[in-house]
Structure 1
Amino acid sequence: MSDESDAYFDRIVDVNALAEFLEDELGPVEDYDVRRHQEGHSNETLFVTWGDRELVIRRPPPGETADKAHDVLREFEVVDALQGTDVRVPTTVAATDDHAIIGSDFYVMEREDGTVLRGAEPDRFATPEHREAIGAELVDRLAEIHEVDYEAVGLGDFGYPEGFTQRQVKRWSEQFEWAFEVTTDEREVPVIRDVMAWLKDNAPEDHPQTLVHGDYKLDNVMYAPGTPPEIASIFDWEMSTLGDPFTDLGWMLSYWWEAKDPEPPESLDTLSSTFMAEPGYLTREELVDRYEDATGFTFENERFYRALAVYKLAALGEMFFRRYLEGNSDDPMYPKMRDGVPALAARAQRIIDGDEQL
C-alpha cells in the first residue's frame, strides 16, 4: 500500500477506536483486522475480521458531501427493517452516529458469501440457461422489493411517495449544481442543461407508490455460490425511500448492455459492464416484460425513466469529480469523470431523442 493510500485509510477509520466499539457490541476477540474494499465508488466499505466473524462496515467518504448523499444510517434503517421479509438483505449488527469513533456515522453488518458480477461473468454461469437466469433473478428480486408492505415493516414514514418523481429531477439537479460550484472551473457540460429542462417538463405525475431501492443494478447484488444463479443478498440501500418503482427499473436497465448498443467510452469503463450482451442474456425488453408480469405494473414513459437514470449517474459522476478536485478521494475512477460526465450527458440526450432504444 502506498503512503498516499495509507494516509487515506487513516482518514476513514481509527482501527483502535473501532476495536473498542466492536468489543462493547460483540465481546472481546484475539483476531482483528480491517481492510478497505476498493470496488465501491460512493460510500466507503470496510471488511472487518472480528474473531471468527466476518463483518462489513459502511461509512460516508471523508470531507464535505452533498446534502442527503451518503446517508448510511438511513441505509441501516431500511436493511434492518427488511430482516424478516422475503427481500434478501445482509444481517445487520449495529449502527452509531458517534463521530468520535471513526469520524462519521457508520453501521455494521454480517459479510455475505458469494459473487458480485463486475466486468465479467463467472465461468459457472457461462451457459445460455444460467445467463437467462441471471437477468430473471435480478428482475424477480426487484419485484419483491416493490411488493413489500412498507407500513407493516415499520417504514411508513420512510419517505413521501406523492410527487416523488418530480422531486427526483429536482434533487439530482441540485446535486449537479453542488458539484458545478467547483467543477465548472475545470470544464463545463452544456448538454446537461438541455437534459435537465426536458426531464423537468416530462416527469410523470402519476405512478405506483412502493419501497424503492434507489441503486438497484447487477453489481449491487450478490449471487450465491454454485448454480443455478440465485441472488443471496442485495446491497447499497443508501438511496432507498418510498417512491416510484419505475425509477428503480429505469436505473437497472441503464446498466444492462445489449449487442446493439454502442461501446461505452473508456472514461466509463469502470461503470459499464458489457458481458450481458453475450448470447443467452435477456434483452431489456424481456426484463421489462418479466417485471410487468411479476408486479402487475405497466412500465410507461420508458424514455423518461431511462434518461433520468443516466442523468442521475452523470450527477453522481460530477459529484465524484468535485471530490477528486478537492482531494477528498483516492478513487482512480473519479478523475475519469472529467470526460465521463459529458459522455453520460450525451447518452441521456440520445435516449430522449429516441436514438438509443429500449
Structure 2
Amino acid sequence: MTDAHETYFERLVDEDALAAYLEGELGPVERYSVSHHQEGHSNETLFVTWGERELVIRRPPPGEVADTAHDVLREHRVMDALQGTDVPLPETLLACEDHDVIGSDFYVMERVAGDVLREEEPERFVDHREAVGYELVDSLVAIHEVDPRDVGLSEFGRPAGYTDRQVERWDDQIEWATEVTAEEREVPTLRKVGDWLEANRPSSHPHTLVHGDYKLDNVLFAPGTPPDLVAVFDWEMSTLGDPFADLGWMLSYWRDPKDPEPAIPELTARFMERDGYPTREGLVARYEERLGIEFEHERFYRTLAVYKLAALGEMFFRRYLEGNSDDPMYPKMRDRVPALAERARRMIEGEEPL
C-alpha cells in the first residue's frame, strides 16, 4: 500500500474501533482483516474477514459530499426490506449510526461469491450471452414488480413527480459541483442538455420501487453456468419513482455494435457488442414483455441517464479538486464530462438511437 493509499485507508476505517464493534455484535473471533475494495466510484466498500465469515461494509467517502448523496443507511433500509422477495440480494446484518466507530454511518452485509462483469465476460458465459442480458432485465423487472406496501416501503419516496424532481436534482448536483470545477473548466453543453430535459419531461409515468443505479456492474453472477444473477448492489439512490429512469440508466451502459466510441472508455465494458448478446432493442422488448408495459419516451430517459452520469462525473471532479478522493478516475472527469455532454446531445438530435 502506497503512502497516499495508506493515508486514505486510515480515513476510511479505524480497524481497532471496528473490531470492537463487530465483536460486540457478532462475537469474538481469531481471524480479522480489512481491505479497501477500489472498483467502485461512489460509496466506499470494505471487505472484512471476521473469523470464518466474509463480510462487506459500505460507508460514504470521507469529506464533504453533496446533499442526499451517499446515504448508506437508506441503502441498508431498502436491502433489508427486500430480504425474502424475488429481488436477488446479499444478506444484510448490521447498520450503525455511531460515527465514533469508523467516522460515518455504515452497514454490514454478507459477502456473496461470484463475478461482477466489468471489463470482460467470464469464459463460461461465452455460450450463454443472451442469458446474461435477459437475467439483467429480469432482475430489474423483479424490482419494479415489488409492491412497496408488502415490504414496509410505502413511505420510502414520493413517486408522483419523480421524473420532474430527477431533472431538478441533477441540475442541483451539477450546480454544487461547478461551484469548484468551473474554476478549472466549463461545460456549456451540459446546460443545453438540462434545458432540453426540462422542456421534454413526460407528463406522467408508472409508479414503482426504483433502484436508481441499475447496471451490469452493479449485479453479481454466481459461479457456474448458465448465468445466475444472485445479487444486486449499490442501492443508495433507491426510492419510489419512475421505473423508466432505471431502464434508461441500464441502457446507457449497454453497448451495441453500431455505437460510437464511449465517452468514458475506462468505465465502459464493450464485450456485449459481440455476437450473441441482446441489443438494447432486445433488452427493451424483454422488459416490456415481462412487465406488460410499453417503454415510452425512450430518448428522454436515455438522455436523462447520460445527464445524470455527467453530473456524477462533475461531482467526482470536485471531490478530486478538493483532495477528498484518491480514486484515479476522478481527475479524468476534466475531459470525460464534456464527452458525456456531447453524447447526450447526440441522443437528443437522434444521432445515437436506441
Counterpart selection for 2:308 from 296, 307, 312: 312
Q: Say yes or no: does 1:303 pair with 2:299.
A: yes
Deviations 1:72-95 (A, max 9, x none): 000000000000211001100000
TM-score (normalised: structure 2): 0.99
Render the CA deviation track for 1:249-287: whole Å, top value 9, x for unaligned.
00000000011001214xx12321111000000000010
- Are 1:292 and 1:298, in contact at CA under 8 Å, matched by a contact in 2? yes
Aligned match of 1:165: 163
Determine the C-alpha separation between the residues in 2 that align with 1:201 and 1:186.
29
Whole-Å Cα distance in 1 between the matches of residues 49 and 265 of structure 2?
31
In structure 1, what is the equivalent of residue 318 of structure 2? 322
- AA aligned opposite 1:148: V
1:79 aligns with 2:79: yes
Q: Which of 122, 141, 157 pairs up with 1:143?
A: 141
Shift of residue 166, structure 1, vs aligned partner: 0.4
Q: Which amino acid aligns with 1:313?
A: L
Match of 2:345 in 1: 349
Identical-residue share of aligned pairs (%):
69
Q: For residue 152 of structure 1, give the secondary structure of its aligned residue in structure 2.
A: helix
Counterpart secondary structure, 1:8: helix
Where do 4+ consecutive residues of structure 1 move more than 2 Å? none
Matched, 1:116 2:116: yes
Task: Identify unmatched segments of 5+ residues in structure 1.
Answer: none
Whether contact under 8 Å (1:81, 1:154) holds in the other structure is: yes
CA distance in 2, matches of 1:36, 1:304: 37
Amino acid at match of 1:131: R
Q: What is the alpha-carbon distance in structure 2 between the residues aligned to residue 314 and residue 274 of structure 1?
A: 19
- Counterpart contact for 1:58–1:106, Cα < 8 Å: yes
The answer for the alignment partner of 2:18 in structure 1 is 18
The Cα shift of 1:230 comes to 1.0
Q: Secondary structure at the match of 1:351?
A: helix
**Aligned AA for 1:260?**
K
- Say whether the 8 Å CA contact 1:166–1:205 is kept in structure 2: no
Q: Could you state the TM-score of these two structures normalised by the residue count of structure 1?
A: 0.98
Q: CA deviation at 1:64?
A: 0.3
Conserved 8 A contact 1:163-1:205:
no
User: Which runs of structure 2 are paired with 1:165-314 in the superposition (5 Å)?
Assistant: 165-265=163-263, 268-314=264-310
1:270 partner SS: helix
- What value does the CA root-mean-square deviation take over the aligned residues? 0.6
* 1:334 corresponds to 2:330: yes
SS in 1 for 2:205: coil
Distance in 1 of aligned mates of 2:142 and 2:289: 12
Letter in 1 for 2:119: G
Q: Contact 1:135–1:282 at 8 Å: present in 2 too?
A: yes
Local SS of the residue matching 2:231: strand
- Residues 205-236 of structure 1, C-alpha deviations (whole Å, 9 max, x = no match): 21110000000000000001000011010000
1:94 aligns with 2:90: no
Amino acid at match of 1:351: M
What secondary structure does 1:247 align onto? helix
How many matched pairs? Answer: 354
Shift of the alpha carbon at 1:297? 1.2
Q: Secondary structure at the match of 2:151?
A: coil
> 1:165–1:205: 8 Å Cα contact kept in structure 2?
no
